Copies of this chain bind each other. A is one copy, B any other.
Protein backbone atom coordinates (compact mmCIF):
# COMPACT_ATOMS: atom_id res chain seq x y z
CA UNK A 1 0.00 0.00 0.00
CA UNK A 2 2.78 2.42 0.97
CA UNK A 3 4.54 1.50 -2.26
CA UNK A 4 1.40 2.15 -4.25
CA UNK A 5 0.98 5.54 -2.62
CA UNK A 6 4.54 6.38 -3.44
CA UNK A 7 3.97 5.37 -7.06
CA UNK A 8 0.93 7.63 -7.25
CA UNK A 9 2.96 10.49 -5.82
CA UNK A 10 5.85 9.90 -8.21
CA UNK A 11 3.49 9.78 -11.17
CA UNK A 12 1.96 13.06 -10.04
CA UNK A 13 5.40 14.67 -9.70
CA UNK A 14 6.21 13.75 -13.30
CA UNK A 15 2.90 15.14 -14.52
CA UNK A 16 3.46 18.41 -12.67
CA UNK A 17 7.02 18.74 -13.96
CA UNK A 18 5.82 18.00 -17.50
CA UNK A 19 3.02 20.55 -17.12
CA UNK A 20 5.50 23.24 -16.06
CA UNK A 21 7.77 22.46 -18.98
CA UNK A 22 4.88 22.40 -21.49
CA UNK A 23 3.80 25.79 -20.12
CA UNK A 24 7.24 27.29 -20.51
CA UNK A 25 8.42 25.77 -23.79
CA UNK A 26 5.27 24.56 -25.54
CA UNK A 27 4.70 20.93 -26.42
CA UNK A 28 7.02 20.77 -29.41
CA UNK A 29 10.07 22.27 -27.75
CA UNK A 30 9.56 20.45 -24.44
CA UNK A 31 12.09 17.68 -23.95
CA UNK A 32 12.16 14.63 -21.72
CA UNK A 33 15.51 15.66 -20.27
CA UNK A 34 14.23 19.05 -19.13
CA UNK A 35 11.18 17.35 -17.61
CA UNK A 36 13.48 14.90 -15.76
CA UNK A 37 15.62 17.74 -14.47
CA UNK A 38 12.52 19.56 -13.25
CA UNK A 39 11.09 16.48 -11.53
CA UNK A 40 14.44 15.63 -9.89
CA UNK A 41 13.70 11.92 -10.39
CA UNK A 42 15.41 9.20 -12.41
CA UNK A 43 14.81 8.28 -16.03
CA UNK A 44 13.95 4.75 -14.85
CA UNK A 45 11.20 6.10 -12.61
CA UNK A 46 9.85 8.17 -15.51
CA UNK A 47 9.70 5.24 -17.95
CA UNK A 48 7.96 3.14 -15.31
CA UNK A 49 5.03 5.59 -15.53
CA UNK A 50 5.28 7.22 -18.94
CA UNK A 51 6.86 5.74 -22.02
CA UNK A 52 7.08 8.99 -24.01
CA UNK A 53 6.46 12.72 -24.13
CA UNK A 54 3.14 11.90 -25.80
CA UNK A 55 2.13 9.81 -22.78
CA UNK A 56 3.02 12.69 -20.45
CA UNK A 57 0.90 15.12 -22.45
CA UNK A 58 -1.98 12.66 -22.46
CA UNK A 59 -1.55 12.26 -18.69
CA UNK A 60 -1.71 16.04 -18.21
CA UNK A 61 -4.89 16.25 -20.29
CA UNK A 62 -6.44 13.34 -18.38
CA UNK A 63 -6.14 15.35 -15.16
CA UNK A 64 -7.64 18.48 -16.66
CA UNK A 65 -11.34 17.96 -16.10
CA UNK A 66 -11.67 18.39 -12.37
CA UNK A 67 -14.46 19.49 -10.07
CA UNK A 68 -12.51 19.99 -6.83
CA UNK A 69 -14.38 22.39 -4.55
CA UNK A 70 -17.67 21.70 -6.32
CA UNK A 71 -20.57 21.04 -3.93
CA UNK A 72 -24.34 20.66 -4.49
CA UNK A 73 -26.26 23.92 -4.46
CA UNK A 74 -29.93 24.91 -4.28
CA UNK A 75 -29.84 26.03 -7.92
CA UNK A 76 -28.30 23.96 -10.70
CA UNK A 77 -27.31 27.15 -12.52
CA UNK A 78 -25.29 28.08 -9.42
CA UNK A 79 -23.45 24.76 -9.73
CA UNK A 80 -22.67 25.63 -13.36
CA UNK A 81 -21.35 29.03 -12.23
CA UNK A 82 -19.28 27.38 -9.50
CA UNK A 83 -17.63 25.05 -12.00
CA UNK A 84 -16.36 28.02 -14.04
CA UNK A 85 -15.37 30.16 -11.06
CA UNK A 86 -13.47 27.28 -9.41
CA UNK A 87 -11.54 26.58 -12.59
CA UNK A 88 -10.71 30.28 -12.96
CA UNK A 89 -9.42 30.37 -9.39
CA UNK A 90 -7.36 27.20 -9.72
CA UNK A 91 -5.90 27.77 -13.19
CA UNK A 92 -3.17 30.27 -12.29
CA UNK A 93 -2.29 28.14 -9.24
CA UNK A 94 -2.05 24.72 -10.93
CA UNK A 95 0.38 24.17 -13.81
CA UNK A 96 -1.51 20.99 -14.77
CA UNK A 97 -4.59 23.04 -15.64
CA UNK A 98 -2.79 25.78 -17.54
CA UNK A 99 -0.73 23.18 -19.41
CA UNK A 100 -3.89 21.39 -20.50
CA UNK A 101 -5.19 24.65 -21.98
CA UNK A 102 -1.87 25.32 -23.66
CA UNK A 103 -1.95 21.82 -25.19
CA UNK A 104 -5.52 22.38 -26.38
CA UNK A 105 -4.67 25.69 -28.00
CA UNK A 106 -1.52 24.44 -29.73
CA UNK A 107 -2.73 23.17 -33.13
CA UNK A 108 -0.04 20.48 -33.31
CA UNK A 109 -0.67 19.08 -29.82
CA UNK A 110 -4.40 19.39 -30.43
CA UNK A 111 -4.16 17.23 -33.53
CA UNK A 112 -2.29 14.58 -31.54
CA UNK A 113 -4.39 14.50 -28.38
CA UNK A 114 -7.62 16.35 -29.13
CA UNK A 115 -8.89 18.54 -26.28
CA UNK A 116 -10.95 18.27 -23.11
CA UNK A 117 -13.38 20.96 -24.31
CA UNK A 118 -16.05 18.39 -25.25
CA UNK A 119 -15.89 17.04 -21.68
CA UNK A 120 -16.29 20.51 -20.17
CA UNK A 121 -19.18 21.17 -22.54
CA UNK A 122 -20.85 17.89 -21.50
CA UNK A 123 -20.38 18.64 -17.80
CA UNK A 124 -21.92 22.10 -18.31
CA UNK A 125 -24.69 20.69 -20.44
CA UNK A 126 -25.77 18.22 -17.74
CA UNK A 127 -26.05 21.03 -15.19
CA UNK A 128 -27.85 23.39 -17.57
CA UNK A 129 -30.33 20.71 -18.67
CA UNK A 130 -31.14 20.08 -14.99
CA UNK A 131 -31.43 23.85 -14.43
CA UNK A 132 -33.84 24.12 -17.35
CA UNK A 133 -35.97 21.21 -16.09
CA UNK A 134 -36.26 22.94 -12.73
CA UNK A 135 -37.43 26.16 -14.34
CA UNK A 136 -34.31 28.14 -13.52
CA UNK A 137 -33.70 29.19 -17.14
CA UNK A 138 -35.73 31.39 -19.46
CA UNK A 139 -37.85 29.52 -22.02
CA UNK A 140 -35.67 30.49 -25.00
CA UNK A 141 -32.39 29.55 -23.25
CA UNK A 142 -30.94 26.49 -24.98
CA UNK A 143 -28.65 24.47 -22.67
CA UNK A 144 -26.58 22.99 -25.53
CA UNK A 145 -25.88 26.37 -27.12
CA UNK A 146 -25.05 28.04 -23.81
CA UNK A 147 -22.82 25.16 -22.66
CA UNK A 148 -20.83 25.28 -25.91
CA UNK A 149 -20.58 29.09 -26.11
CA UNK A 150 -19.59 29.49 -22.50
CA UNK A 151 -16.72 27.01 -22.65
CA UNK A 152 -15.48 28.98 -25.66
CA UNK A 153 -16.02 32.35 -23.99
CA UNK A 154 -14.27 31.24 -20.79
CA UNK A 155 -11.29 29.94 -22.75
CA UNK A 156 -10.96 33.09 -24.83
CA UNK A 157 -11.33 35.43 -21.88
CA UNK A 158 -8.49 33.54 -20.19
CA UNK A 159 -6.37 33.68 -23.32
CA UNK A 160 -6.88 37.35 -24.13
CA UNK A 161 -6.81 38.67 -20.57
CA UNK A 162 -3.54 36.87 -19.83
CA UNK A 163 -1.96 38.45 -22.92
CA UNK A 164 -2.93 42.06 -22.20
CA UNK A 165 -0.32 44.50 -20.89
CA UNK A 166 -2.35 44.91 -17.70
CA UNK A 167 -3.16 41.32 -16.88
CA UNK A 168 -6.61 40.91 -15.35
CA UNK A 169 -7.45 38.59 -12.49
CA UNK A 170 -9.12 35.59 -14.13
CA UNK A 171 -11.74 35.00 -11.41
CA UNK A 172 -12.75 38.65 -11.66
CA UNK A 173 -13.03 38.38 -15.45
CA UNK A 174 -15.16 35.22 -15.30
CA UNK A 175 -17.35 36.83 -12.65
CA UNK A 176 -17.91 39.82 -14.98
CA UNK A 177 -18.66 37.43 -17.82
CA UNK A 178 -21.44 35.87 -15.73
CA UNK A 179 -22.81 39.34 -14.92
CA UNK A 180 -23.06 39.83 -18.67
CA UNK A 181 -24.64 36.50 -19.70
CA UNK A 182 -26.89 35.55 -16.77
CA UNK A 183 -29.59 38.19 -17.39
CA UNK A 184 -30.05 36.67 -20.87
CA UNK A 185 -30.63 33.14 -19.57
CA UNK A 186 -31.76 32.87 -15.93
CA UNK A 187 -35.33 33.66 -14.78
CA UNK A 188 -35.44 36.84 -12.67
CA UNK A 189 -36.32 35.08 -9.38
CA UNK A 190 -33.28 32.82 -9.67
CA UNK A 191 -31.00 35.55 -11.09
CA UNK A 192 -31.40 37.57 -7.88
CA UNK A 193 -30.23 34.61 -5.79
CA UNK A 194 -27.09 33.68 -7.73
CA UNK A 195 -23.65 34.34 -6.29
CA UNK A 196 -21.00 35.26 -8.85
CA UNK A 197 -18.61 36.91 -6.41
CA UNK A 198 -14.90 36.52 -7.22
CA UNK A 199 -14.43 35.45 -3.58
CA UNK A 200 -16.75 32.50 -3.95
CA UNK A 201 -14.34 29.86 -5.35
CA UNK A 202 -11.79 30.30 -2.56
CA UNK A 203 -14.61 29.94 -0.01
CA UNK A 204 -15.90 26.82 -1.76
CA UNK A 205 -12.46 25.22 -1.79
CA UNK A 206 -11.90 25.96 1.90
CA UNK A 207 -15.30 24.53 2.77
CA UNK A 208 -14.80 21.39 0.73
CA UNK A 209 -11.32 20.76 2.13
CA UNK A 210 -12.68 21.30 5.65
CA UNK A 211 -15.34 18.70 4.83
CA UNK A 212 -18.20 21.09 5.57
CA UNK A 213 -21.45 21.17 3.66
CA UNK A 214 -21.68 24.63 2.12
CA UNK A 215 -25.46 24.32 1.96
CA UNK A 216 -25.54 24.48 5.76
CA UNK A 217 -23.04 27.26 6.36
CA UNK A 218 -24.16 30.88 6.44
Q: Which B residues are CB-close (under 8 A) to A183?
A: 183-184
B117 touches A164 (CB 8 A): yes
Q: Which B residues are CB-close (under 8 A) to A160?
A: 117, 148, 151-152, 155-156
* 9-residue interface stretch from A42-50, A53-61, A65-73, A105-113: A105-113
Specify the main secondary structure of chain A where it touches its partner. helix
- A123 in contact (CB, < 8 A): no
> Given A163-B110, A182-B184, A184-B181, are A176 and B153 also a contact pair (CB < 8 Å)?
no
- A26 in contact (CB, < 8 A): yes
- A161 in contact (CB, < 8 A): yes
Given contacts A149-B176, A152-B157, A159-B159, could you give 11 more A-B pairs where the C-beta distance is less than 8 Å? Answer: A110-B163, A117-B163, A145-B176, A149-B173, A149-B177, A151-B160, A152-B159, A155-B159, A156-B158, A182-B184, A184-B184
21 contacts between A and B (CB under 8 A): A115-B163, A146-B180, A148-B160, A148-B164, A148-B173, A149-B157, A149-B180, A151-B160, A152-B156, A152-B159, A152-B173, A153-B153, A156-B157, A156-B158, A156-B159, A156-B160, A159-B159, A179-B184, A180-B185, A181-B181, A183-B183
